[in-house]
Structure 1
């Protein structure tokens, strides 16, 4: 690692600028420098750079050579500017030490305020300010924060001590504590620290500062920061936080002091109105922690001339900052005895609805262009406009957390089996299906459930994929949950839930709440439609949907899809009236018996396709022939009663039934007897499916529906497989069309999901009329990682920088992406301009969109509720590619 020339940057002086500045100073350091140069009231200070933190981490948590000396220089500069001395016992300079990464990570890392106080300095501060209560209040705050962040003492232990003192003296609020109460509290705090750490509370300010800075560096790798980066897909290549060291300003000096947070526009609705809260006689953590009920920003003007003047000053500053950022700004401020100080400014977090409204307003105000508006928007946040949301005003008790697999808010009574889910839902109950993990047999339960909660599985697991496809809220991989199927109980922490108890789950953030949390419906209107129209102007790829039934097709079409990119025919087999016939077909000992069972399945399949074709009138429908291995359709060996009953119904012995189940068991089903291999060995299965597709197309076409079926062969690795199935498809299609005297325009293509298929794509393209990348399986077979089991270690790989992102969420461009590039080039060398799409869940991922756009894909396909986000993401990708080309 190269030696750094400079570690610290005084606010506004010689600070880096340009696109890479945030990687040096972090967001907070940039904002403080900007505000200083604007002449806004910012406490003097400096930023220790993000690369300094990176050097610290990479050297095993050691300060880089020269940092200590440079720090002394900058502290001396602060002392000179303020006329105070750090470590003085008469007029001490106190410091705020705060984190500030290049990527906004609110609340994830640590802060230490009031640093520099000790037993002697607190007395000097009291004398200098003439405010003894303020001085000792600042000291008790410092001991608690430093003890928690630096010394490893438990925050809740400090709270216990504080609450015990309040109870002892019948004190209601923190501001009601007298000087004597605070002195007693400080003694108790120091006693606790000494007992916990085995050493007295540190009295040397220089030691406090060094250890405080190191603690903020260390907080880059605390569990919540790691989780935040993983969840928000912040690249592992971004390492380290900046640290701002600035003079303390005190909002806890009495009723002419205070602290607050404000937004220049309403962060919930996007309306252009100041939206904020503040507290008098408080420091910043009081607002965040909710210790006291804050006042609304609008109340400031009613509190007397001084506060009205502060309000007017803040409004003017907000206008200045909005003009600079050309966006809604989130700012933090402190008032010290009537003097306003600005502590931070940044583009504010907002809801999906606010994101749309703010973008539209900024365009109208001439601050940004359409392109800038589209590039700023978060495609994932569009889901907030489509799904129900929990009422933000409602009280919530978070009891656990998993992976945010499918957005929305779900409230219901928990059940542990798919059958119970169907029964309870039929009785009019809202239910949440709770499983260790879901299987294809859970499909009916998932259809009827309000939400799905699983203990295991990743973001591309069965539960996640199917839930997204159906628009069901889902939280998966919730390892905090423990299911006892015998007792039908769910344990989360110290809470035990019986079947029928209520839970609420948030598929947007993965949180699990106790009981019933109220929800609100969010409707999208003109603003949403306008953003989508603009996105459609720019995007070069079409958007299709992964849908297996007419309802999902209709939903996706409402959201603007342009066809079905993946219809999974196996999902149609699991309904109650069909699964028995499917099993009879699998268990058949002769071609005749198998064909008879298939003839009974055909009407079901045909009916399904008719509904889908009607819903997608005029749009292409890409239908994948049977993909999973046959054993997935058979019951588990433990289901003895069912097996005996069904065996008797179909005329075979129990032993034969069990023998077939065992014979079809596979050690690695993902790489086993599935997909095209079923069609090669049992062509009658594929023939039935093709006949059902074509007969459905003929029926709806005679109704006036424009039907454009695409028949896709899965899991092939050879042109010979493709040639054989292409002949089957063409033959059956011709038979149906000749018999009915109707011509249906159809295509036959393949899903590219194995590395070998990419390598011989030109050979396959001799027979396949289109390609569709199945990137879930292509990722599995390229990495040699199961998408369901990978969740056990992929997060750790991300944390350790081995994987920058989860490859099942974002396309691995260096490996999987190169195979895709090769397949596109080879395929189109044989069939120029052939349609190439993607139907893996990565197709809806904004971070993959630019790569797919450069690849020249014809379309991306995603679950219905991700269609709007995909429309926006592909528009952003097209704009970025266009901008790159202009350069």
Structure 2
């Protein structure tokens, strides 16, 4: 029988797959001799069995009972014992941190008898005991029994009647317990379960079930966490931060998760339990205040923080409780951080000798680098500041104020930029937080739910703007001076300073973008960290990084951003605007003479285009895809033309009648699968020859040019051979050397790559079309139609147009790469679809042995970093 339960003394930090992050780290802290309340962890394997079978695995209850009995013997108390109760918490803990997304229940073991025993245990502190009891019923009712949490919140607010929760007396809390029990009875049809063992098993089951709760599913999708991991469950002896002003609870970071700066960062709340801090229910005190309140615990906490950071060699996020002056550690994990903090901390740890520079590169991501490249507010612009809170997660966000998650999702779906404004957020707000450009709360600090989740997602966030009176019901907030901001009014929030402005504040380029544009590093600490990471990344990556660029301006920017060539120049983009008519004339030409005139008009324009592009790239390779237009983009609209001719009747112009006949002849029901790519070049004599001649003459005019001619949409080697023969002849006539290859974007091309490589000197994978053709759907037509449903159902973990589908499209890429190189060992391989700028897809490209990825100019730095991370993921030396 498998082992499903591990005591905290049995695990370690390397068992996250089995024990989850929380359980593995509780075990690690226990092994380090830190003050951790005793307990045990139920494995992720038990959760997976539960989710598959719909019931707790056989033998699990007996195994839990054995570990509980051992815990009771160690503590000298039994769970829920009437005169001297042992109480436990039941907390989720997946391999990857999912803050607030799954369930936690505290104070399990309390009932009408043991609550009095708890008061006696606490030296007659009845208020503390009844406060703990009402918390159990409230948490258990909401998370285990599925009761609307608002019912409990409303009852509490009514009882408080404007008072603080600390002002409630014992009698108030006793009445609240009876009210809460009445809510449970009314909502469930039965009494609150008094049996402590039943409470614990119900809570464990609820934690397992919460793995598939909508907010957890949404968070996993956002963070790309696999859906089949499951969560562990941690059963831990309760320690109490709510038993008086000499007790409390807090969250600490070993460095600032917002900026990365070293120092003391965190929040503390006296006479409270853990959920009070992250929920932002009461405004917290800065962690430094703990030195004044309880210096002994403060000094011990600082020693533990230093020990944990040195042990984990990273920023640590710590949860702790102080019970009557005794410090207890409840959790540690490698902390979530902003993009700026990630780069600063990585370099700091190198300088401290805790990690090597290779590891520093793996500690930051391309997505974080992209966040640093977002614009920031213009410091010189006129701004109307209306409030200031805590700078919880940096960035510049502008949008319409909205006050519910549902409204944020609704407006964002309509293309509106929104700022989600709440008193405090909770896990149910996740969908709105994802949809919003930024998050603003009037309560909570840097460790509140809003701050932690926003940092993890890279969202701009300002927390604890106490000057604002937020009314969710009236959908507005009131700023100092009586200024009212209603839903739909535009506000701007600065997550770097915590400032809130009325109206739209202009933005300017970030210093990181200015650095990539060529500005000196200077004294900017963040830019210096980026420079150091990127310099080493370029030395470690194997994949080259090119850019998709169709003009000299984009090509020049790509070079400044570090591109090593052009991987895709889409020549059809050169024929838009005024030139569209020339292509229309070519396609509709009635005979050889008309076609030759159209080609003669196009050739000098193309030659000039390519000359500018080659000059901009100054000897770097440039891959030019011959024209690949879906035909309908270069023809008059068939319906509009038909209506115009029909309405004119006998008065219709001869030109329009002739044009209609030609368009009707060429009209296609599915243009994306019609006369385009290599097919168009073969059907219209001279078209590809004109482009090849323009490329050759431009290359001859710009010494050092390394041109690569790419034939699009090839499905059979015979198609490529026809075009290649003509291209090679023209290149020979002009005395220019250039590679001739093809874009692999048709499944048949991938499956016959060995044949195609006989005529191709390079492959470039066009994964946009390859994805469409492999899946059999059009991106433009189906993303809005059913992708969200497919994501909900788990058909997709992520859109296949966003990240390469490794099992399907990826397998075709792998087959084509292997069979192509078997035919031609020196075959150059690249990717030029949008996946070329996606981090996960870049790692796949490295794995299958491609030579380069090509992406938009703005994504070039991201691709450079991810290419290095992919290389380092395969192992290698660590340069200290």
Give TM class, smaller chain.
0.7 to 0.9
Q: What RMSD in Å do the two structures reach over aligned CA positions?
A: 4.0
Matched, 1:205 2:196: yes
Q: Cα 1:82–1:665, aligned 2, differ >3 Å: closer, same or farther?
A: farther
Q: Cα 1:515–1:190, aligned 2, differ >3 Å: closer, same or farther?
A: farther
1:559-598 counterparts in 2 under 5 A?
559-575=561-577, 577-593=578-594, 595-597=596-598
**Cα drift, residue 107 of structure 1:** 2.1
Report the counterpart of residue 447 of structure 1 in structure 2: none
Partners in 2 of 1:607 and 1:434 — Cα distance? 41
**Cα drift, residue 715 of structure 1:** 0.7
Partners in 2 of 1:316 and 1:394 — Cα distance? 40
Partners in 2 of 1:327 and 1:730 — Cα distance? 57
Partners in 1 of 2:748 and 2:230 — Cα distance? 40
- Gaps in structure 2 of 5+ consecutive residues: 379-384, 402-411, 417-433, 436-456, 458-473, 477-485, 495-500, 513-526
State which of 324, 330, 335 in structure 1 corresponds to 2:311.
324
1:15-164 counterparts in 2 under 5 A?
15=11, 18=14, 21-60=15-54, 62-129=55-122, 130-164=124-158
Matched, 1:720 2:714: no
Report the counterpart of residue 778 of structure 1 in structure 2: 770
Secondary structure (helix, strand or coil) at the match of 2:288 reads helix
Partners in 2 of 1:240 and 1:104 — Cα distance? 12
1:125-524 counterparts in 2 under 5 A?
125-129=118-122, 130-167=124-161, 170-171=162-163, 173-236=164-227, 238-303=228-293, 307-388=294-375, 411=398, 516=504, 522-524=510-512
Secondary structure (helix, strand or coil) at the match of 1:274 reads strand
1:707-786 counterparts in 2 under 5 A?
707-733=705-731, 737=734, 744-786=736-778
State which of 537, 540, 546 in structure 1 corresponds to 2:539.
537
Report the counterpart of residue 627 of structure 1 in structure 2: 628
Report the counterpart of residue 424 of structure 1 in structure 2: none
Partners in 1 of 2:400 and 2:576 — Cα distance? 24
**Cα drift, residue 674 of structure 1:** 1.7
**Cα drift, residue 329 of structure 1:** 0.9
Secondary structure (helix, strand or coil) at the match of 1:540 reads coil
Report the counterpart of residue 9 of structure 1 in structure 2: 6
Partners in 1 of 2:369 and 2:745 — Cα distance? 29
Q: Cα 1:611–1:182, aligned 2, differ >3 Å: closer, same or farther?
A: farther
Secondary structure (helix, strand or coil) at the match of 2:211 reads helix
Q: Cα 1:268–1:643, aligned 2, differ >3 Å: closer, same or farther?
A: farther
Secondary structure (helix, strand or coil) at the match of 1:544 reads strand
Report the counterpart of residue 451 of structure 1 in structure 2: none
Report the counterpart of residue 439 of structure 2 in structure 1: none
**Cα drift, residue 638 of structure 1:** 7.2
State which of 846, 852, 869 in structure 1 corresponds to 2:862.
869
Partners in 2 of 1:292 and 1:835 — Cα distance? 61
Do the aligned partners of 1:235 and 1:805 also contact (CA within 8 Å) in 2? no
Report the counterpart of residue 676 of structure 1 in structure 2: 678
Q: Cα 1:642–1:147, aligned 2, differ >3 Å: closer, same or farther?
A: farther
**Cα drift, residue 580 of structure 1:** 4.8
Q: Cα 1:246–1:639, aligned 2, differ >3 Å: closer, same or farther?
A: farther
**Cα drift, residue 55 of structure 1:** 0.7
Partners in 2 of 1:389 and 1:347 — Cα distance? 28
1:460-482 per-position Cα deviation (integer Å, ceiling 9, x unaligned): xxxxxxxxxxxxxxx9xxxxxxx
Partners in 1 of 2:600 and 2:148 — Cα distance? 68
Do the aligned partners of 1:707 and 1:745 also contact (CA within 8 Å) in 2? no
Do the aligned partners of 1:230 and 1:795 also contact (CA within 8 Å) in 2? no
1:139-177 per-position Cα deviation (integer Å, ceiling 9, x unaligned): 22222221111111122333333333334xx32x32233
Partners in 2 of 1:550 and 1:394 — Cα distance? 44
Partners in 2 of 1:362 and 1:308 — Cα distance? 28
Instruction: Compare 293-302 and 341-350 and name the one that shifted more.
Output: 293-302
Q: Cα 1:45–1:610, aligned 2, differ >3 Å: closer, same or farther?
A: same
Partners in 2 of 1:709 and 1:408 — Cα distance? 41
- TM (norm. structure 2) is 0.79
Partners in 1 of 2:655 and 2:490 — Cα distance? 44
Q: Cα 1:309–1:653, aligned 2, differ >3 Å: closer, same or farther?
A: farther
- TM (norm. structure 1) is 0.79
Instruction: Compare 250-259 and 775-784 and name the one that shifted more.
Output: 775-784
Partners in 2 of 1:574 and 1:115 — Cα distance? 69
State which of 831, 834, 838 in structure 2 corresponds to 1:841.
834
**Cα drift, residue 98 of structure 1:** 0.8
Partners in 1 of 2:847 and 2:588 — Cα distance? 48
Secondary structure (helix, strand or coil) at the match of 1:343 reads strand
Secondary structure (helix, strand or coil) at the match of 1:246 reads strand
Report the counterpart of residue 487 of structure 1 in structure 2: none
Report the counterpart of residue 519 of structure 2 in structure 1: none
Do the aligned partners of 2:377 and 2:396 also contact (CA within 8 Å) in 1? yes
**Cα drift, residue 732 of structure 1:** 4.8
Partners in 2 of 1:308 and 1:354 — Cα distance? 29
Work out the number of aligned pairs and report it. Answer: 771
1:819-844 per-position Cα deviation (integer Å, ceiling 9, x unaligned): 33332333334433121111123333
- Gaps in structure 1 of 5+ consecutive residues: 398-406, 415-431, 437-453, 456-474, 476-492, 507-512, 738-742
Partners in 1 of 2:554 and 2:13 — Cα distance? 48
Partners in 2 of 1:571 and 1:166 — Cα distance? 66
Do the aligned partners of 1:631 and 1:661 also contact (CA within 8 Å) in 2? no
Secondary structure (helix, strand or coil) at the match of 1:250 reads coil
Secondary structure (helix, strand or coil) at the match of 2:874 reads helix
Instruction: Compare 226-235 and 339-348 and name the one that shifted more.
Output: 226-235
Report the counterpart of residue 442 of structure 2 in structure 1: none
Q: Cα 1:882–1:179, aligned 2, differ >3 Å: closer, same or farther?
A: closer
Q: Cα 1:681–1:183, aligned 2, differ >3 Å: closer, same or farther?
A: same
Q: Cα 1:17–1:298, aligned 2, differ >3 Å: closer, same or farther?
A: closer
1:258-303 per-position Cα deviation (integer Å, ceiling 9, x unaligned): 1111111121222222321221122222221122222222232233
Partners in 2 of 1:653 and 1:833 — Cα distance? 53
Do the aligned partners of 2:837 and 2:860 also contact (CA within 8 Å) in 1? yes
1:415-439 per-position Cα deviation (integer Å, ceiling 9, x unaligned): xxxxxxxxxxxxxxxxx99679xxx
Secondary structure (helix, strand or coil) at the match of 2:546 reads strand
Do the aligned partners of 2:221 and 2:797 also contact (CA within 8 Å) in 1? no
**Cα drift, residue 661 of structure 1:** 5.5
Partners in 2 of 1:163 and 1:634 — Cα distance? 67
Q: Cα 1:108–1:680, aligned 2, differ >3 Å: closer, same or farther?
A: same
Partners in 2 of 1:110 and 1:633 — Cα distance? 57
**Cα drift, residue 685 of structure 1:** 3.6
**Cα drift, residue 133 of structure 1:** 2.2
